[in-house]
A and B are shown apart, each in its own frame.
Chain A
Amino acid sequence: MSERKREEHTPGTPGMPRGWVRHPHERMLITPLVAGVGGLLAFFTVVAIVVWLPIHTFDPPPSSDWAPLSSTALAGRNLFAQNGCYVCHSGYSRPQDVRESLYFLYPKISAPGDFWGSDQSPNLLGTERTGPDLSQESGWHPDDWQSAHFYDPRYMDPRSLMPDMKSLFSNKQVDQLIAFVEQRSGKSGLLRYAGQLYAKHVVLVNQGFPPPYTGFQGSHKPPLESNDKILAPPKNQLEEAPNLAQIDRSYWLAGDPLPVTEANLLRGKEVFLDRCVGCHGLKGNGSGPGARFLSPTPADFTSADDACCGGDTGPGDFYYRILRGWPGTAMENFGDRLSVDDIWRVVLFIKTIPNGTLKPYRNPEPNDYIVWQPSKELLAWTKSHQTLPGNISFEKKAIKDPFMQEALRVMPGLAPKDRLLLNDGKTPLSLRDAANGIKALYEDMLNRAWSDAKGRGEKLPPESQKAIAPTVPGQQ
């Protein structure tokens, strides 16, 4: 259209306001059609690249660590999604997380294949870490810790910001959620959980405790008690031996490296009040608000010659249990949260509790400290069981079998040749037994999850994927 012709037509254009001057950029004039259809065209062009293309080209195969969810865990996953848990807990660990917090929280980097399968839908990647990432959470805590924590997170960690779930979930729903948390981390998580379950079995049998309550029942039931009558500790074996089997033996006789000073004790008390009172109680007698959920119940530090200061449990044992946790009990690993010196300070402080140092306004003093003397029996046991040959603590041979690796993680105090009996007098305990037990638990859980997934009609990888052995990331 020539310039002249256009000018001629301008005045007659219907709807053109009077005095309208044609804009020099008329060629780029946007009409409703250009805005609407053109806008959508631009939109769909980009959509083809950033939505259609990745969805149709990115389909990573299941990773060797991938495992399906059991149907109970899947029900828990749906509750997790429906109640918005992902707004505070992300669902993948990043490369820098593993570099920065390899110790416990994030033992492995999430791989694309970890998210294979339709039981991982909807995605729960999340964008916020008000709480920790949960992709690697399986197996770090036993089920009874989880139910107490769901009931009121402050029972288990007084610092926690997590909302309590007591008004949200029924007993059954909590158990589904726990199943999800304990099974969501793939095979390596299942292996860790199997280790936790096996250790729970060992601890309950050894100490004569009944199994813990399920769901939220612990909130209105009396604290569980150990039944001494069924215990018949084997002769010729240290009564504490099965418990010591869960502590690296180089710690059995270790003393506290810090001096007993008022400053150290005071810091120990501070940390104790900050972290430990949910279970061990404000009086240190093992009856904190969370204790009723737990089996075995938390340790009582108020008696001078029992779990606190006498017996065959020395400062090194306390240190090790705080640092690495006590698998099978609700005792967590505080190694990623407390400094080495703070842990030793807590150990110092614990051994002043029988002298009333937990009373308000009472500063612990060095002369409140009760010095521990190893018993003759312990010294004799150590002599026969801490020899260099055959002792895993002094050998750094790589162990290939993941189940043996996991057995060593939960039973680090056992030497390969050790053959113990638990205190019921009949259940054997050795590394081989532990590895076999863990393997059986692991395979049972994996098989059940596979058959559940098959029953749900989900697409599954070839059976050979199931047979790939699990790994113990970040541990060995």
Chain B
Amino acid sequence: MGASPFPDTAAKHWILSSIIWLTVVDLFGLVLATEFVTPEAFSHFSWLSFSRVRPSHVNGVILAWLTMMYFGALFYMLPRLVGTRGMWSERLGVICAWAWNVMYLLGIIGLLTGHSQGREYGEFIWPIDIALLVIWSANIVNILATVAIRTIRPIYVSVWFFIASPLWLAVDYAIGNVIWRPGHVWGAPSGALGNSLSDAMLNWWYAHNLFGLWLTPMLLALTYYIVPRVTNTPLYSYTLSLISFWGMAFFYTGVGDHHILQSPTPAWLKTIAEVSSWMLLVPVFAFTINILGTMKGNWDRFFTNLPLRFTMTAFFFYFLVNIQGAFEAIQPFNKLTHFTNFVVAHAHLALLGAFTILGMGVIDYIVAQVYAKPLYSRSLSEWQYWLVTVGFTGFFSVLTLAGFQQGFSWQEGIPEVNVLPQLHAYYIARGIFGAMIVLSGIVQIVNIGMTIFTNTAERRRIETLRVAEAMAPPPVAG
């Protein structure tokens, strides 16, 4: 059994935490899907009330599952890209991972007991916000220090995002949560601007940049790493990477107001948001072409290499979500789909279809590398892939249809409650597809757990020997 030359202790802590959180936040989602079908399912538990679980699900997906997965991947990739023996301080990374877990656990307990700021995507109360920013800053220090002690001077495109993206998010989170106005520290109103409409504009600017300046750039960074690495092919174009980096910085930052396009906010801001949402396609296409160019001649590995298949599936959904989002962000289309399940489908296309599927592949890849042994079971990985891909595709399709059903009905003046019976079948289907997604996460936990706790290298050796024996020619008589 070979050993990895890198310690990767920080990466292990963040990654292994993240796969547990994935199942937890998936289960929150399943609770919500159940409540859409039978609203009284958990009515005796105040902490499982829809309105409290929903923020826990959303914040959990972003801050517990995806953020921990991203930091884990970052702590794995950064030393390899800049030529250091691990992070500047692996110990700091481990401490931060534990602190992050505790911080998030407290935050979620707060949300489930009704301690929330009441601002969508910024629900965590002020003390949790501060804890989050402290840990985040420690991670930034760790990243920048690692970059500073690098031995490979030029920095690869993934590292641009590893440097810029945490910085963007730290500032975004601090401004968006209005941390200089703690207000009533243990609940609402806190962390909000005094002027309601300004607060709304800030709220949605911030919320969209959780995706625009953290989750999406990190998806790019990870894809820029995984695809050339697995296919053993240099990245197609440096210039396109430049366009995707600077395009993201300039165009993604200003799209937030497209969440409140028909609200009484300034029209010029809506125009900026709409135009930026379309300009976004420039970095998106730059990235797409860059990855497709790198994949050229390598598509056979899409079928044989599972991490690459996860990554390219996520890449496809990422492309789709941007095209969809651009249309959704303009007035005529927005008038039809806003407030409906179409938006929920769109959000899941990004966070589940793109980021989560990418994360699953990256974790499968990284775990095999840091433990320097093959994954426990290829067929479990296949199950994981198909469960999440089919589950998500079904989930996305039914919610999109449900969204059109709502939008067209409302357009005819039919009130919300009259549309509910027509949505029932969609909600049941959403629950079933959602359960497949939960199952996929559990399959991954089993697979990763068995990889860590059993000697898979030996298992693989015996399997190979068996195959070799079966294929060996029969012994010659005499």
Contacts and interface: CB of A to CB of B under 8 A. Distances in A.
Interface stretch (B17-25, B43-51, B378-386): B43-51
A449 to B, nearest CB: 16
A35 interface: yes
A78 B188 CA distance: 6
Contact of B164 (A17, A35, A50): A35
Interface stretch (A127-135, A207-215, A224-232): A127-135
Contacts of B263: 92, 94, 110, 125
B117 A163 contact: no
Interface string B82-121: 0100000000000000000000000000010011111110
Contacts of A467: none
Contact of A100 (B50, B188, B406, B412): B412
A122 interface: yes
A302 B167 CA distance: 70
Interface stretch (A54-62, A314-322, A383-391, A400-408): A54-62
Contacts of B202: 51, 55
A121 to B, nearest CB: 5
Contact of A129 (B164, B273, B416): B416
Given A59-B195, A123-B199, A112 B262 contact: no
A114 interface: yes
B307 interface: no
Interface stretch (B252-260, B295-303, B358-366): B252-260
A258 B153 CA distance: 86
Contacts of B254: 46, 49-50
Given A118-B194, A157-B417, A90 B339 contact: yes
Contacts of A83: 49, 51-52, 114, 116
Interface string B140-166: 000010011011111101011101100
Contacts of A31: 155
Interface stretch (B66-74, B237-245, B319-327, B438-446): B237-245
Contacts of B269: 50, 54, 58
Contacts of A132: 415-417
Q: A-B pairs with the 9 shortest C-beta distances?
A: A81-B118, A39-B164, A122-B192, A84-B51, A120-B196, A46-B253, A123-B200, A42-B249, A94-B262
Interface stretch (A21-29, A140-148, A292-300, A422-430): A21-29
B51 A54 contact: no
Contacts of A127: 120, 259-260, 338-339, 343
B418 A50 contact: no
Contacts of A49: 254, 272
Contact of A112 (B144, B154, B265): B265
A32 B157 CA distance: 11
Nearest to B147: A32
A162 to B, nearest CB: 7
A111 interface: yes
Given A84-B54, A100-B413, A163-B43, A30 B155 contact: yes
Contacts of A87: 50-51, 54-55, 120
Interface stretch (A164-172, A244-252, A367-375, A431-439): A164-172
A135 to B, nearest CB: 11
A465 interface: no
B168 interface: yes
Interface of A: 13-17, 20, 23, 25, 28-32, 35-36, 38-40, 42-47, 49-51, 54-55, 57-60, 78-88, 90, 92, 94-97, 100-101, 103, 105, 110-112, 114-118, 120-132, 153-154, 157, 159-168, 336-337
19 contacts: A15-B151, A35-B155, A35-B245, A36-B144, A36-B167, A39-B168, A50-B269, A58-B269, A82-B188, A87-B50, A88-B51, A122-B188, A123-B199, A132-B416, A157-B417, A164-B43, A165-B49, A167-B43, A168-B114
B362 to A, nearest CB: 21
A474 to B, nearest CB: 13
B189 A50 contact: no
B175 A101 contact: no
Nearest to B181: A121
A32 B164 CA distance: 9
B377 interface: no
Contacts of A47: 175, 253
Contacts of B253: 42-43, 46-47, 50
B333 interface: no
B410 interface: yes
Contacts of B195: 55, 59, 115-116, 118, 121
A190 to B, nearest CB: 18
Interface in B361-402: none
A117 B193 CA distance: 11
B197 A95 contact: no
B66 to A, nearest CB: 20
Contacts of A30: 155, 157, 160, 242, 245
A433 B87 CA distance: 79
Q: Which of A57, A114, A129 has the most CB of B within 10 A?
A: A129
Interface stretch (B5-13, B32-40, B129-137, B454-462): B32-40
Contact of B167 (A40, A51, A110, A131): A40
B187 interface: yes
Nearest to A122: B192
A15 B150 contact: yes
Interface in B180-216: 187-189, 191-203, 205, 213
A90 B253 CA distance: 25
A196 B119 CA distance: 32
B264 A112 contact: yes
B474 interface: no
Contacts of B111: 84
A78 B189 contact: yes
Contacts of A124: 118
Nearest to A46: B253
Contact of B266 (A54, A129, A131): A54
Contacts of B147: 32
A272 to B, nearest CB: 16
Contacts of A85: 51
A141 to B, nearest CB: 13
B450 interface: no
Given A25-B239, A45-B250, A94-B262, 9 more contacts: A13-B153, A32-B163, A36-B163, A42-B253, A58-B197, A58-B198, A82-B188, A110-B263, A111-B264
Contacts of A44: 171
A42 B250 contact: yes
Contacts of B425: none
B78 to A, nearest CB: 12
Nearest to A45: B250
Given A128-B344, A168-B46, A96 B116 contact: no
Q: Which of A15, A40, A121 has the most CB of B within 10 A?
A: A121
B415 A35 contact: no
B316 interface: no
B264 A35 contact: no
Given A30-B160, A50-B254, A168-B49, A86 B193 contact: no
A38 B217 CA distance: 15
Contacts of A167: 43-46, 49
Contacts of B229: none
